[in-house]
A and B are shown apart, each in its own frame.
Chain A
């Protein structure tokens, strides 16, 4: 490079190249699934892949128009994960004779269209800051919806679904977006108060109750509703989101410690008192106990998944050649186990890396963002994606107890797909606003991060008082 670059580069062409590569991965997966399974005509392959490619290109073109400077790798990674998921759901369909993949493709189309609508309608993420308290209200409504008799339905012991006709939805999935918007909006206006005012309590500085009250109410409500609805995975997700956003806003490690302490206490209490939590812990710790294996709701699912992954080994049995359909929910909760069996450790590592890269791009958008709200929102949203992936992949591999969270973009299930695509749309917008050229105003915009530097001086000032 000889010349010094001064203008920001849109990098949409790079996105196109990566997108083609991502679609190639999806197409190869589809092709292998179809060609390995005998007696299946491969017409599905062309239909599904061309719809997927068309959708991806629509978003790409929209980005060229509305968010020229958006991050170039977010969309290709998402498309790759989504089409890999579709291919695996299709593969399980072929083995079981179900037609989940058509449904999933329909939901993918709906999700991408809505994400495109978000791109078009929002344009500037700062607009969302105006809806801080409305977002809180909407989150509460979304979380309470499944509890309404007649509307809410209980599936697999968790009352987190609403059904309208033949159409069912998990409103809690969308609540993670609205809650992120609320946390980001509230913390960006009240960060200083939370940081400075308050009592000192040993080495920790606790903020005044009234400064934290809306946050605590939001958090208690979401956790409370989730305990009532028996959805452990989402409870962990919301709790993690709360801690991370407060930490990113205040740069106080004490919050992380308090949060982890609360998790430990809450986990022990729940493990001792709530039967479904106790059972999950039991399944996790004694998975290979024959009695637990054979019990209904026992460890059969997770152990079969482990057997499958062991069978896959390093390189896998090959797509379409294993028997992942033996595991219950092989196309949703256990989809990572299905991949583990068929593409092996090498393939699953690549998938995990794709998630990691996606989260890192989200955090990069947060770093580059010029306003506090955008920073907090991008950090919260990308953390949400990351935590979901960690909780479910950790659960399937028996690193932590298995909880029913959807594997982002892969698992069969429309609500989670929709919510995660909206998250991607918001991350693309924030990254566009952070990489876009500034309109002639000087100043190291990039450096205005969370107040890590003032932190020490504030604590000193408090000490001196």
Chain B
């Protein structure tokens, strides 16, 4: 093969491999921006500038939860002050709230703060954790007054 052609080919190969790198970076840039918008469905800052009518009214400030009330179950009537630390529920002695309940697992669920909200997450329990009527499949935010059920125990967040 002609030397000149070969040199051009070699240079072309380097161009091609960088083209791959750059197109990956290019697609990532878009992906990162899209990923955020996807889940919330909220318009981006740039879209807001173009279409001010898309802006949502400011949500009223949420009251932070300060106590966790035990509504039903063996410990009914008790309440636990929330001080920004995660709480673990279960029968195990090292749980924050030890549940004496045959329907609860050793390490059943954890309630943890993230930002201004509290989230409940099932720790792979046998009988599951319920918020309202739905069983948790992943960590989920809990609103004030929503009923969280672990075995026979029902919990509620209070302001």
Q: B10-33 CB contact bits vs A (8 Å, 1 = yes)?
A: 111110111111011101100110
A6 touches B38 (CB 8 A): yes
Do A457 and B24 form a contact, CB below 8 Å, given A24-B16, A371-B138?
no
Interface residues contributed by chain A, number (CB under 8 Å): 74
Whether A438 pairs with B43 at a CB distance below 8 angstroms is: no
- The chain B residue with its CB closest to the CB of A69 is B38
User: Shortest CB–CB separation between residue A182 and chain B, in angstroms?
Assistant: 14
Q: Which one, A25-33, A270-278, A290-298, is touching chain B?
A: A25-33
A18: which of B10, B13, B20, B39 is its contact (CB, 8 Å)?
A: B20
Which residues of B sit under 8 angstroms from A189, Cβ to Cβ?
107, 123-124
Partner of B115, one of A195, A319, A438, A453: A453
Contact A5 B6 (CB under 8 A): no
Does A164 count as interface, using CB distance less than 8 angstroms? no
Query: Which of A14, A18, A315 contacts B14, CB < 8 Å?
Result: A315
Which residue on chain A has the smallest CB distance to residue B43?
A4
Which B residue's beta carbon lies closest to that of A193? B94
Check: A1 CB closer than 8 A to any chain B CB: yes
Contacts of B41 in A (CB 8 A): 4, 6
Write out, one digit per residue, whether chain B residues 25-63 have a CB within 8 A of any chain A CB (1) or not (0).
101100110111111111100010000001000000000
Is residue A240 contacting chain B, with contact meaning CB distance below 8 A?
no
Q: Which residue of B lies closest to A452 (CB)?
A: B114
Whether the Cβ atoms of B12 and A192 lie closer than 8 Å is: no
Tally of B interface residues using CB under 8 Å? 55
Complex CA–CA separation, A435 to B35 (angstroms): 7
The smallest beta-carbon distance between A412 and chain B, in angstroms, is 20
> In the complex, what residues of B have CB within 8 A of residue A446's CB?
35-36, 39
Cα distance A441–B20 when bound, in Å? Answer: 38
* Residue in B12, B17, B21, B40 whose beta carbon sits within 8 Å of that of A444 in the complex: B40
Does A368 make an interface contact (CB < 8 A)?
yes
In the complex, what residues of B have CB within 8 A of residue A73's CB?
24, 27-28, 31
Beta-carbon contact of B13 and A129 below 8 Å: no
Q: How far apart sit A7 and B37, CA to CA, in the bound complex (Å)? A: 9
Bound Cα distance A19, B147 (Å): 49
Q: With the chains together, A445 CA to B23 CA distance in Å?
A: 29
Q: How far is the CA of A159 from the CA of B115 in the complex (A)?
A: 50
Complex Cα gap A31–B141 (Å): 56
B98 part of interface (Cβ distance < 8 Å): no
Residues in B with CB closer than 8 Å to A453 are 113-115
- B139 interface residue (CB < 8 Å to A): yes
* Closest residue of B by beta carbon distance from A356: B21
Interface-lining segment among A60-68, A303-311, A347-355:
A347-355
- CB neighbours (8 Å) of A360 from chain B are 28
Is there contact, CB below 8 Å, between A28 and B38? no
In the complex, the answer to whether A28 meets B36 with C-beta atoms within 8 Å is no
Q: Do the beta carbons of B25 and A438 come within 8 Å of each other?
A: no
Residues of A within 8 A of B141 (CB): 442-444
Contact B20 A25 (CB under 8 A): yes
Chain B residues near A237 (CB, 8 Å)?
Answer: none
Q: For residue B42, which residues in chain A have a CB less than 8 angstroms away from its CB?
A: 4
Given A6-B41, A370-B139: A29 in contact with B13 (beta carbons within 8 A): yes
Q: Is the CB of B13 within 8 A of A319?
A: yes
A328 — which chain B residues lie within 8 A by C-beta?
A: none
- Asked if B20 contacts A447 (CB within 8 A), the reply is no
Q: Which residues of B contact A192 (CB under 8 A)?
A: 86, 88, 110, 112
Contact flags (1/0) for A304-338 with B, using CB distance below 8 Å? 00000000000110110000000000000000000
Q: Is A163 in contact with chain B by the CB < 8 A criterion?
A: no
Q: Which residues of A contact B12 (CB under 8 A)?
A: 28
Please give me the residue from chain A that is nearest to B113 by CB atom. Answer: A454
| Smallest beta-carbon distance A152→chain B, Å | 36
Chain B positions 46-85 with a Cβ under 8 Å from a chain A Cβ: 47, 54, 83-85
0 or 1 for each of B78-120: is its CB under 8 Å from A? (1 = yes): 0000011110100000100000000000010010111100010
Complex contacts, A372 vs chain B, CB 8 Å:
121, 139
Tell whether A54 is near chain B: CB-to-CB under 8 Å: no
Residues of B within 8 A of A316 (CB): 10, 14
The smallest beta-carbon distance between B42 and chain A, in angstroms, is: 8
- Cα distance A29–B13 in the bound complex, in angstroms: 7
Report whether A354 and B6 are in contact in the complex, using a CB–CB cutoff of 8 Å. no
Given contacts A4-B37, A435-B35, contact A457 B28 (CB under 8 A): no
A458 neighbours in B (Cβ, 8 Å): 85
Residue-wise interface mask of A (4-28) relative to B, using a CB-CB cutoff of 8 A (1 in contact, 0 not): 1111110100100110011011001
Question: Contacts of B112 on A, CB cut-off 8 Å?
Answer: 192, 451, 454
Known pairs A8-B38, A22-B20, A316-B14; list 20 more (Cβ under 8 Å).
A11-B31, A21-B16, A21-B19, A24-B20, A28-B12, A35-B1, A71-B31, A73-B27, A189-B107, A315-B11, A343-B13, A343-B14, A350-B17, A354-B20, A354-B21, A443-B119, A447-B114, A448-B114, A454-B112, A461-B83
A-B pairs with lowest CB-CB distance, top 5: A457-B84, A443-B141, A318-B10, A6-B41, A370-B138
